[in-house]
Structure 1
């Protein structure tokens, strides 16, 4: 179970790629020239999801299908792990061994544009061809990879939003209506206490143990707050809307409505049928469905709860694809590959076999693609509805961006699992983060 949980948690945090051949990164970075046929342009594709067993086969299928269809391009996947990806990109870039296509977190767009010689998709493909490809792509997702010049340098790829999953059987045991999940955090508290009183755990918001801050940001945005000013010069997660959001979260824990677990422990409890509610990335959905079926209990799902009458504002997790090759022919070959991966056929594989959202929403009603799958997985519609309210997962500027995100994460964890003064903790964290911003 713990091994499965580790794989699922990694899947929620990352995007996914695969190669027709998995080899050492340095060997692949230096491979050049044509295939044995002498006809195809070879390109490399750096991804950390080749190391995730639950997604490797699906990404392999993406690459194999593309390679079989293309008369001009041959893609080879390069495996690394999530912790090493950015270091690998940097060291190989300095050495002149640039990968052609690279997976990046959608909160890292500015970092990659400012530190590497990326080319915009509009420039590689041409504006008309790029616009044509983006027709039918989820509107709110289209701008997540744009830079301040308005051009797109990272194309969203694997993607999810936070959902509230719940155990219908435990709802009934606690005297709750399994067809009426809570819509607000106030209702979540009521439901959570009822579940606790019935002998099980209430809710867990899985946002403190995975080393990222995307779901924490969703909580803050949903209460009208921000984490960073528009000009990217001022940290804002210590301001009142953020403080109030984290205070509600702390109250959930102190009241007993929220379990006092680590995220991994809560996931394990939920999958075993011993946790009533879980707020987690929708990328976990396939694993949760399988656990419910194996455990003989019924899974329910709803969108992210709101703060009173304020509209809930989900963020996105996941990643996109950028083209790092400076060779014009390889860049065009990379664009051909990315077009396939983000096509209707590509998203049919990504959604049905990896669990990420179809960023071409129309395919869930298309018999050729996901209609039959969507009929068996109705929660995907709830997830897609949230895209209309999406707020970009903000990446902090400068070389200390990861440290700033960690500062936010640690401050929130300190607040919710104690009775400390939330305003004092968050103000201190804001001050520390401000000092980490570039001058």
Structure 2
């Protein structure tokens, strides 16, 4: 997200970060160095009237507006349902404008003095490190695999099939997927009409996006389109979607070799660079692009639904917000990936471990997802809620932005986390190279090749 947003924009972009994080590597991973964690003892049920206090750390509590308000509401509802469990909610330690960037360092700092939070919201891109280095507790051992699966099945509506394994590693569930989105193409219908474009037929390919963006620029004087997948601050969740949509990968399927300098990836970066050079995409920071779109000064933006509330508020009565699925490359299907985060347990005491699980089950319940979807805009991972008149159907019927996101969920691929303790340097280094090419005009092929060779040394075993 580059220099970061203040107020609601920052929070939404942050949510994108959260949405940001991946698990493709998590499911059934067998990459070298992936150790199978030792089983932990099962946490006993809490006794009647047993008082327990736990700490819940989430970057949502570091955001103003809908994020903090919604999560405080959820914690209040949990207290009413579980009066014997006291939850202290806190944001990650650190002073970053985007609290999501402080999650891992905050947890490490608290673990170093033997006092980790009991429940932590961490991005999917941190999954490898969270399981293998930070030693999150395997929930299948902690409460039983049958109990974990029962939670996924829900009281009435199960988790979407592609969502329920995003927090798995080597066949065990470590994190319960919590909130995420897929990449959405938001557009300003008024600017479309002024440019002679049909809002009912938004661009379906990147060539069409570039053409429409140039029309908007030429006929309205406003900027055309911004792809918020191409900077270090945006992380790589959405960039991976672009790459997969062109048949490439940023890392091999077994996660032992970096592949972001391959032709399919270079083609994506070259196409995005061409949009900047041709004036179809403004050379802006994420903050500038998000705020410009919310003001009505940008025609299109590829973004997370975490920012949907910000965009809808910005549009107000002034212009109509439109939304479409992520565009693809000519002749190839678009392959959306997920952003977002899961909930992990780090509690040491059995009573706190069981209380932590009770909090997780509540925060991923039908009740909680009804609140989260309507007040923030995240996908309700219990998708059956959108067909229930007593739950989310009225909201879904009135929300034209939901349908493309739900459709993409059905064919989504997981965001793949980089391996080993140097995963952040690898991910950030790759995105620095992408940003340099797209926005600073560096040669895509040579820039990506040089950076891949440099970062390969940071992989476990120095492979690359």
**Shared fold per TM-score greater than 0.5:** yes
**Per-residue deviation, 1:105:** 0.7
**Per-residue deviation, 1:72:** 4.4
Alignment equivalent of 2:340, drawn from 286, 296, 318: 318
Paired position in structure 2 for 1:62? 74
The 2-side partners of 1:313 and 1:51 are apart by 31
Alignment equivalent of 2:241, drawn from 182, 206, 218: 218
The 2-side partners of 1:421 and 1:52 are apart by 37
**Per-residue deviation, 1:6:** 2.6
Paired position in structure 2 for 1:125? 143
The 1-side partners of 2:237 and 2:454 are apart by 19
Paired position in structure 2 for 1:29? none
The 2-side partners of 1:66 and 1:52 are apart by 20
The two structures, once aligned, show a CA RMSD in angstroms of 1.9
Counterpart secondary structure, 1:430: helix
Paired position in structure 2 for 1:262? 285
Paired position in structure 1 for 2:427? 405
8 Å contact 1:163–1:280 — kept in the other structure? yes
**Per-residue deviation, 1:325:** 1.4
The 1-side partners of 2:289 and 2:326 are apart by 18
The 2-side partners of 1:374 and 1:220 are apart by 30
For the pair 1:432 / 2:451, whether they are aligned, the reply is no
Alignment equivalent of 1:178, drawn from 199, 202, 214: 199
In structure 2, stretches of 5+ residues that fail to align are: 21-47, 93-98
8 Å contact 1:146–1:154 — kept in the other structure? yes
The 2-side partners of 1:210 and 1:326 are apart by 33
8 Å contact 1:41–1:330 — kept in the other structure? yes
**Per-residue deviation, 1:182:** 0.3
The 2-side partners of 1:187 and 1:15 are apart by 27
8 Å contact 1:12–1:281 — kept in the other structure? yes
For the pair 1:206 / 2:228, whether they are aligned, the reply is yes
The 2-side partners of 1:3 and 1:69 are apart by 31
Counterpart secondary structure, 2:293: helix
Paired position in structure 2 for 1:92? 110
Kindly tell me the number of residue pairs found equivalent between the two proteins: 417
8 Å contact 1:363–1:370 — kept in the other structure? yes
8 Å contact 1:270–1:276 — kept in the other structure? yes
What is the TM-score with the length of structure 2 in the denominator?
A: 0.86
Paired position in structure 2 for 1:7? 11
For the pair 1:47 / 2:68, whether they are aligned, the reply is no
**Per-residue deviation, 1:134:** 1.0
Counterpart secondary structure, 1:44: strand
The alpha-carbon distance between structure 1 residues 60 and 15, as it changes in their structure 2 partners (threshold 3 A), is farther
Q: Deviations over 1:62-89 (max 9, x none)?
A: 1110110125433221232334332221
Counterpart secondary structure, 2:343: strand
Counterpart secondary structure, 2:405: helix
In structure 1, stretches of 5+ residues that fail to align are: 17-36
Q: Which has the higher contact order (CA 8 A, sep 6+)?
A: 2
Counterpart secondary structure, 2:53: strand
Counterpart secondary structure, 1:325: coil
For the pair 1:303 / 2:314, whether they are aligned, the reply is no
Paired position in structure 1 for 2:366? 344
8 Å contact 1:163–1:301 — kept in the other structure? yes
Paired position in structure 2 for 1:112? 130
Counterpart secondary structure, 1:367: coil
What is the TM-score with the length of structure 1 in the denominator?
A: 0.91
Q: Deviations over 1:355-387 (max 9, x none)?
A: 211000111121222112112212112101101
